[in-house]
Structures are given as structure tokens and as C-alpha cells.
């Protein structure tokens, strides 16, 4: 199908490939460059231009970063940073998915009073991203004594309507007869959800997991605000703290290693989940 | 297996009444077909029996128990949907087993029941496949299997064959009838196709605009349609229905006297004659007809013409003696096979 879409002619294919290659270079080069930088000693990094090939300080840099180097600068080790960030990103992703799939299920498949009012209430929260409601949210977190806790990091990031809308749109494409067939077969609301809706939503869930995991992983403003203690830092915050204004004071080699650690998990999630959507698409497509 | 009874069942959506009171007592094992044009409320009626649609008033009994307020699963019915509604992510086996599993049947018994039903429908080789790996006819059989395997009190089928091509449809029609006979389960079957209706039904419900116009055996409906609507809907091509007047000897159609039945003299009636109850005679005998078009089907041909004094008429003639357009002939109605209806109410006159 794809071949048919982009010009059938040979020259058309060359042009298409050329554009794709350019695209890949634009996207991949910074990542490559960071990875290369993480293998050079700080002196090489500070003396531009940075070589395009790996240096020989890779082992030393990584050993130093893992063996306490990051801790000395940021106040907390790489392991802890990765654990914090993973916990936040996974909880945000799972939390958003659970809440949004449940609310979309209620809105699409049940008739209850004020159904549309609830729908619009959820919809309106789309217009209130974390940044807009940051002061009141911060106040609430202080009142609830959630500063410097995982709950404080996670909960405000879970609330949002985007995923609810996506699930609602998907649920509305499910033929009503499928629900009716399940009712005739004796499935109650919970069974229908578990046995039919959830498996059919697998690809959507996988896609949303990737998007929301990365959203949680790359949060900057909220974690910065809601954590004071270094031990609650996410890796993104730690990176910021490791960079001082004077270039020479920054241990760039360790920063680059930390960058690689910060990039790796999202890439892994994308790669692993990608195989999963393909499987989902092949198996459940109607 | 169970009796089903509907007593003055009505349905309104808001102020819009769509079923205006249907009553029928269905015997155990009977095959009832609900037939009527699109939008007349057939599906709504069936879905009310299934419990998928609440009823506005009246009662529905299944097996002697009023089920008005019961969920579908508590009514012990199985349904086949027009688009089959198979669970796309489950194998054929799991599609058929789902209802049984919910009913608490497990292990060897589950396997045995599904396999036996699959064998009956020749689905055994496909048990591991997903619905999208099946042809239309196979999917249809899975939908049938899902209903059969549960051994319910009644089958409800909503246009189950309308997504199949014509040849498969005929085959499946015979098969459904056979299966229903062999398991002896009461069935309610909705269709808009009158051939399906005639061939399948023990009794037919002919619906029009939310009203059951006639409930009877197919042959009695064909021979004695209760209203002009039923007369026009059952039988193909449709019955000729023309205004006429009663006389001492019979009826006056246009200016032509015909010795057919005997409505009260002077009374205006609607005269109904089926195309197959007319024979062609030489010009000058019977009712003069000018042929305008001929549909040749092989064995038979249908000649469409205009009678003297206005009005259209269709006559069935043998294919080998097909008339040509422009011909002028006479037609003779078979005595005793004419139908009379009240022009005001459309009801059959005795
Ligand atoms: N959910 C609904 N809300 C309002 N009107 C409906 C609804 N479902 C069906 N109808 C109306 O009820 C009538 C009968 O519909 P239906 O039973 O589907 O007809 P059939 O199956 O005979 O084609 C139609 O006029 C349709 O517009
Ligand atoms: Mg219908």
C-alpha cells in the first residue's frame, strides 16, 4: 500500500527515500551526538568541535557517573533518579489510562442523569493543562502535605481529559450489536468491559501508554515545584541541577551520560510497545 | 423450549409510537416469521422479546413467565444479529463458548457442547480461527452456532441472511429450517423478504407501520389476505388491486361485467386478483388489456398492461407464450380466486 501512495515511478521513490533519510538524520543526530559526547573526557567536550566518533573515555565516564559521580553533583545517585522518574512516568501513564478508560466507559455505555454534564466537565479540563492551574494545584498539594512525595508528583499529572476523549471516540465506533450480543450471552457490565472492551482497546491502550509515559517522563515544571529534597528529583530535574551557568564548572561528560540514561527508557518503551501495536493491529482489526 | 406470548405489546420512543399493540400466542417449537417493509417495527418487536429494548406497555411471557422487566440473560433466549456481532478478538470456539462459560459450564462439557454444535454446522475445521479469517457464510454459521450451543428457550433472529449472496441465502434458509426442526426450539425470525417468510414460517406475522396486519399460516395469508396491504406484500408480483362495483351478477370493473364473487350490489369495492390467477384469452373475451411491457423470466413471463377504462394489471403467462408489447388481449380471472376489500378501511370483505 505504501509503495502505491508515494509515486510509483523510480525517481519518485528516490525522492521519497531521500526525504525520509534527511528526516531520520534530523531526528537522530542529536541523540547520536549526546551518545558520542558521553564517551569523551570533559577536556575534549569543552574544546569544540566535538569529534563525530566515539572517544575512549566511555567506560570511565559511565563508571564515574554510576559510581557516585552524579550523586556528588546532584545530591542523589543515578539509580535513585531513574527509579523516581520511572515510578512517576509509569504511574502517570497507568493512572491516566485507568481513569480515562473507566470514565469513557461510563459516558459511552451507560445512561445516567447528567451524563452530558459530566462529559463536558471532563472535556473542559482539557483547557486546563498543569501549567495553567499550577498555583491552585500547588496550594492543594501543600495543604494535603504532599510536597516531596510521590503522590504529589504523580496525582496532578494524571488528571486530564485527552485520553478520555480518545477512548470515547474509540468506544463509539464499537457496534452496538456487540454489546447486545454480550448482554444476550449473559455478560454484565463488568464482564463486557473485561472480556470484550478491554481486549479490543489493546492497541489504543498501548499507544496511549507510550504517549503518556513520555509525557510523564519529560515533565519539568511540576516536579521542579513540588519537590525540594534532592532524593525526590526526577532525572530531568537532576540534569538541570547538574548544569551550572559557568560552562567550565559543569561536568559535561557526566551530564552527557545522564542524558543517555534519561533518553534510553522512553526509547525502549517506544520500541517495545511498537511491536505490540503491530501485533494488536494484526489480531484485532475487524 | 418454551411457549412465547405477547399481549398487546406497545412501544413508543418519546411521543413517537412505533408498535401499536401486537398480540400473539406462540406454541412450543413453532417457527414464527415477522415480515414487513423496512421501518415497520419488526426489529423493535424482536428486540423487545429479547429484552434489549424496554416495552412501553403490554406483557411478554416466555415459558409461562412474564419477562417484561428481566435482562436478556435472564430470559433464556439466544439472538442472531443481522451483522452477526461476533466478538472480533475471540476464536470461533470462544465465540461459541462465551455464553456457556458465563453460565458456569467448563471443561469437558463445554468442549463437547461447542464441538457438537460446530460439527452440526460444519464449523469444526475453523474452531481456532478468528471471525475476520472466515467468509460471510461461515461467519453466519458461527452466529447460528453461538445461538444453538446454548440450547435456549427461544431463538430470535433479525434478518440473519440478508448479508449473504442469493445462492448462499437459499441454502442457509433450508438449513435454518432443518436445524430448528431438529432441535425443536421456538423461533422468532425477522425478515423483509417475503420468499424467506413464506418458506420458513409455521405462522407469519405481517407487519405494517407498527401494526400486525395479519397473523396466520403462510398459505392462508396467501389465499385470504386480511387487508390490501397484506395482499400487496405477500405474493410476487404483487396482487392486482383495482376499484370495482358490486352488481347482481358479480362485479363491474370499469365497464366490463365479471362473474366473480358477490359483493352487495351497488357497493364500491377493491377487487384483488393475483397475476397467477389470470389467464389470457383472445381479444374480445373477458377483460380487454393492452400489453405495455413484458418481463420474461424463462418459465414464466409477467405481462404488464393497461385495462380499458384505466388501471394497470399484471398477468402471468407461460414464458413460451410470452406476449409482445402493444398486443391487445382479453384476460379471464379464475372464478373463486378473487378477493374483495373495503375501499375505506382496506379490510377484506367476507
Ligand atoms: N432508538 C430509536 N429511537 C427512535 N426511533 C426508533 C429507534 N429505533 C427504531 N426507531 C423507529 O422505529 C421504527 C421501527 O424501526 P425498526 O424496528 O428498526 O424497523 P424494521 O426492523 O422493521 O426495519 C422506525 O420508524 C424507526 O425509525
Ligand atoms: Mg430491522
B176 touches chain A (CB under 8 A): no
Mutate which: A170, A186, A279, A285, vs B, most B CBs within 10 A:
A186
User: What's the grid cell of residue B1?
Assistant: 423450549
CB contact under 8 A, B85 and A177: yes
- The domain locations on chain B are 4-231, 237-341
B70 touches chain A (CB under 8 A): no
Q: Which residues are within 8 A (CB) of A59 and not within 5 positions of it... i.e. 6 or more apart?
A: none
Give the atom of ligand 1 at the shortest distance from the alpha carbon of B45: 17
- Classify domain B237-341 at the CATH superfamily level: Nucleic acid-binding proteins (2.40.50.140)
Report the mean per-residue pLDDT for chain A. 85
- Residue B207: closest CA among B48, B14, B1: B48
Count, residues in chain A? 286
Q: B242 pairs with which residues across the strands?
A: B271
A9, pLDDT greater than 90:
no
Q: Could you give the dihedral angle defined by the CA atoms of residues B54, A179, A204 and A102, in that order, rounded to the nearest 10 degrees?
A: 50
B128 touches chain A (CB under 8 A): no
CB contact under 8 A, A183 and B52: yes
CB contact under 8 A, B79 and A184: yes
A176 Cα to the center of ligand 1, angstroms: 15
Please state the ipTM of this predicted complex.
0.88
Question: What per-residue confidence (pLDDT) applies to B257?
Answer: 85
Q: Using a CB-CB distance cutoff of 8 angstroms, which residues of chain A are in contact with residue B163?
A: none
B170 touches chain A (CB under 8 A): no
* Closest chain A residue by Cα to residue B86: A178
CA B22 to chain A, closest CA, distance in angstroms equals: 23
B54 touches chain A (CB under 8 A): no
B58 Cα to the center of ligand 1, angstroms: 18
Give the atom of ligand 1 at the shortest distance from the alpha carbon of B158: 21
Residue nearest to atom 21 of ligand 1 (CA): B43
B43 Cα to the center of ligand 1, angstroms: 7
Question: What per-residue confidence (pLDDT) applies to A286?
Answer: 41
B77 touches chain A (CB under 8 A): yes
pLDDT digits (tens, 9 = 90+) for B223-241: 999 999 999 999 989 999 9
CB contact under 8 A, A187 and B102: yes
Residues framing ligand 1 (Cβ under 6 A): B 13, 18, 36, 38-44
CB contact under 8 A, B78 and A285: no
Question: What per-residue confidence (pLDDT) applies to A3?
Answer: 44
Model-level pTM? 0.85
B22 Cα to the center of ligand 2, angstroms: 17
Which one-letter DSSP state was computed for residue A188? -
A51, pLDDT greater than 90:
no
- Classify domain B4-231 at the CATH superfamily level: P-loop containing nucleotide triphosphate hydrolases (3.40.50.300)
Residue nearest to atom 16 of ligand 1 (CA): B41
Question: What per-residue confidence (pLDDT) applies to B110?
Answer: 96
Report the sign of the C-alpha dihedral through residues B149, B179, B216, B240, in that order: positive
A165 touches chain B (CB under 8 A): no
Query: How far is it, in rounded angstroms, from Cα B98 to Cα B115?
Result: 14
CB contact under 8 A, A183 and B85: no
Cβ–Cβ < 8 Å for A140, A147: no
A74, pLDDT greater than 70:
no
Cβ–Cβ < 8 Å for A61, A39: yes
A62, pLDDT greater than 90:
no
B21 Cα to the center of ligand 1, angstroms: 15
Helices first, then strands: H and E counts in chain B: 9, 20
Confidence class of residue A6 from pLDDT cuts 50, 70 and 90?
Answer: very low
Phi-psi domain of B76 (left: phi exceeds 0; alpha: psi -120 through 50; beta: other): left
Q: Using a CB-CB distance cutoff of 8 angstroms, which residues of chain B are in contact with residue A196?
A: 87, 89
Query: How far is it, in rounded angstroms, from Cα A256 to Cα A62?
Result: 10
Residue whose entry in the numeric block shows the C-alpha cell 559511565? A62
CA A200 to chain B, closest CA, distance in angstroms equals: 7
Question: How many beta-carbon pairs under 8 angstroms link A with B?
Answer: 66
A283, pLDDT greater than 80:
no
* Closest chain B residue by Cα to residue A182: B99
A184 touches chain B (CB under 8 A): yes
Query: How far is it, in rounded angstroms, from Cα B271 to Cα A282?
Result: 61
CB contact under 8 A, B78 and A175: no
pLDDT: which is higher, A159 or B336: B336
B180 Cα to the center of ligand 1, angstroms: 28
- CA-CA distances (angstroms) from residue A126 to A210, A214, A233? 19, 18, 27
pLDDT: which is higher, A239 or B273: B273
Query: How far is it, in rounded angstroms, from Cα A252 to Cα A258?
Result: 10
User: What's the grid cell of residue A47?
Assistant: 574544546
The closest CB to that of B89, out of A185, A187, A284, belongs to A284
Query: How far is it, in rounded angstroms, from Cα A242 to Cα A255?
Result: 7
pLDDT digits (tens, 9 = 90+) for A228-237: 888 888 998 8
B290 touches chain A (CB under 8 A): no
Residue nearest to atom 18 of ligand 1 (CA): B43
Question: What per-residue confidence (pLDDT) applies to A64?
Answer: 81
User: What's the grid cell of residue B249?
Assistant: 351478477
B217 touches chain A (CB under 8 A): no
Locate the DSSP E strands across chain B.
4-13, 16-26, 31-35, 57-62, 65-66, 77-80, 154-158, 186-191, 203-208, 211-216, 240-246, 251-253, 256-258, 268-273, 278-281, 287-296, 300-307, 312-318, 328-333, 339-341
Residue nearest to atom 24 of ligand 1 (CA): B39
Question: What per-residue confidence (pLDDT) applies to A247?
Answer: 65
Residue nearest to atom 5 of ligand 1 (CA): B13
Read off the pLDDT of each residue in A84-97 and give the average, rounded to a whole number: 95
Which one-letter DSSP state was computed for residue B86? -
CB contact under 8 A, A186 and B102: yes
What parts of chain B have a pLDDT lower than 50? Answer: none
CB contact under 8 A, B79 and A285: no
Amino acid at each position: 500500500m505504501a509503495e502505491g501512495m508515494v509515486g510509483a515511478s523510480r525517481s519518485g521513490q528516490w525522492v521519497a527515500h531521500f526525504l525520509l533519510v534527511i528526516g531520520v538524520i534530523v531526528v537522530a543526530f542529536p541523540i547520536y551526538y549526546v551518545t558520542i559526547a558521553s564517551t569523551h573526557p570533559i577536556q575534549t567536550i569543552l574544546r569544540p568541535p566535538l569529534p563525530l566518533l566515539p572517544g575512549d573515555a566511555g567506560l570511565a565516564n559511565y563508571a564515574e557517573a554510576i559510581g557516585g559521580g552524579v550523586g556528588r553533583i546532584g545530591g542523589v545517585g543515578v539509580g535513585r533518579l531513574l527509579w523516581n522518574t520511572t515510578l512517576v512516568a509509569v504511574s502517570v501513564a497507568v493512572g491516566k489510562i485507568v481513569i480515562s478508560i473507566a470514565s469513557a466507559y461510563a459516558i459511552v455505555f451507560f445512561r445516567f442523569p447528567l451524563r452530558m454534564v459530566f462529559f463536558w466537565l471532563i472535556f473542559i479540563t482539557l483547557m486546563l493543562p498543569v501549567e495553567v492551574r499550577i498555583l491552585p494545584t500547588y496550594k492543594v498539594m501543600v495543604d494535603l502535605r504532599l510536597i516531596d512525595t510521590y503522590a504529589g508528583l504523580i496525582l496532578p499529572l494524571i488528571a486530564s481529559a485527552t485520553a478520555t476523549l480518545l477512548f470515547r471516540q474509540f468506544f463509539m465506533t464499537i457496534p452496538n450489536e456487540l454489546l447486545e450480543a454480550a448482554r444476550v450471552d449473559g455478560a454484565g457490565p463488568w464482564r463486557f468491559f473485561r472480556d470484550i472492551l478491554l481486549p479490543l482497546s489493546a492497541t489504543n491502550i498501548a499507544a496511549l501508554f507510550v504517549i503518556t509515559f513520555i509525557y510523564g517522563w519529560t515533565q519539568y515544571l511540576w516536579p521542579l515545584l513540588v519537590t525540594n529534597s534532592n532524593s525526590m528529583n526526577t532525572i530531568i530535574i537532576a540534569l538541570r541541577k547538574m548544569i551550572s551557568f559557568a560552562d567550565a564548572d559543569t561536568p559535561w561528560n557526566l551530564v552527557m551520560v545522564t542524558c543517555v540514561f534519561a533518553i534510553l527508557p522512553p526509547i525502549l518503551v517506544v520500541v517495545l510497545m511498537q511491536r505490540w501495536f503491530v501485533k494488536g493491529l494484526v489480531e484485532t482489526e475487524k | 423450549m418454551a411457549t412465547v406470548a405477547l399481549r398487546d405489546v406497545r412501544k413508543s420512543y418519546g411521543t413517537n409510537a412505533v408498535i401499536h399493540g401486537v398480540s400473539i400466542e406462540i406454541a412450543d417449537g413453532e417457527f414464527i416469521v415477522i415480515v414487513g417493509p423496512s421501518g415497520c417495527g419488526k426489529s423493535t418487536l424482536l428486540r423487545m422479546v429479547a429484552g434489549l429494548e424496554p416495552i412501553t406497555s403490554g406483557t411478554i411471557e416466555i415459558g409461562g413467565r412474564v419477562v417484561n422487566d428481566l435482562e436478556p440473560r435472564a430470559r433464556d433466549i439466544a439472538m442472531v444479529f443481522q451483522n452477526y456481532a461476533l466478538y472480533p478478538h475471540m476464536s470461533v470456539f470462544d465465540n461459541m463458548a462465551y455464553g456457556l462459560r458465563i453460565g458456569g459450564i467448563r471443561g469437558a462439557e463445554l468442549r463437547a457442547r461447542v464441538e457438537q454444535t460446530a460439527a452440526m454446522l460444519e464449523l469444526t475445521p475453523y474452531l481456532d480461527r478468528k471471525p475476520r479469517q472466515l467468509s460471510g457464510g461461515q461467519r453466519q454459521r458461527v452466529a447460528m452456532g453461538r445461538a444453538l450451543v446454548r440450547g435456549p428457550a427461544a431463538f430470535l433472529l433479525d434478518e440473519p441472511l440478508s448479508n449473504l449472496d442469493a445462492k448462499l441465502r437459499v441454502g442457509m434458509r433450508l438449513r435454518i429450517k432443518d436445524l430448528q426442526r431438529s432441535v425443536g426450539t421456538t423461533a422468532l425470525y425477522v425478515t423483509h423478504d417475503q420468499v424467506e417468510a413464506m418458506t420458513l414460517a409455521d405462522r407469519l406475522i405481517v407487519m405494517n407501520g407498527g401494526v400486525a396486519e395479519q397473523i396466520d399460516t403462510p398459505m392462508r395469508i396467501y389465499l385470504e389476505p386480511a387487508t390490501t396491504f397484506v395482499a400487496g406484500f405477500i405474493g410476487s408480483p404483487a396482487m392486482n388491486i383495482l376499484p370495482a362495483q358490486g352488481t347482481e351478477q358479480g362485479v363491474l370493473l370499469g365497464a366490463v361485467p365479471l362473474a366473480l364473487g358477490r359483493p352487495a350490489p351497488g357497493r364500491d369495492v377493491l377487487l384483488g386478483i393475483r397475476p397467477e390467477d389470470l389467464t389470457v384469452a383472445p381479444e374480445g373475451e373477458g377483460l380487454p388489456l393492452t400489453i405495455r411491457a413484458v418481463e420474461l423470466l424463462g418459465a414464466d413471463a409477467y405481462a404488464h398492461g393497461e385495462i380499458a377504462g384505466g388501471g394497470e394489471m399484471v398477468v402471468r403467462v407461460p414464458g413460451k407464450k410470452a406476449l409482445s408489447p402493444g398486443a391487445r388481449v382479453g384476460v379471464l380471472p379464475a372464478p373463486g380466486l378473487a378477493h374483495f376489500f373495503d375501499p375505506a378501511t382496506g379490510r377484506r370483505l367476507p
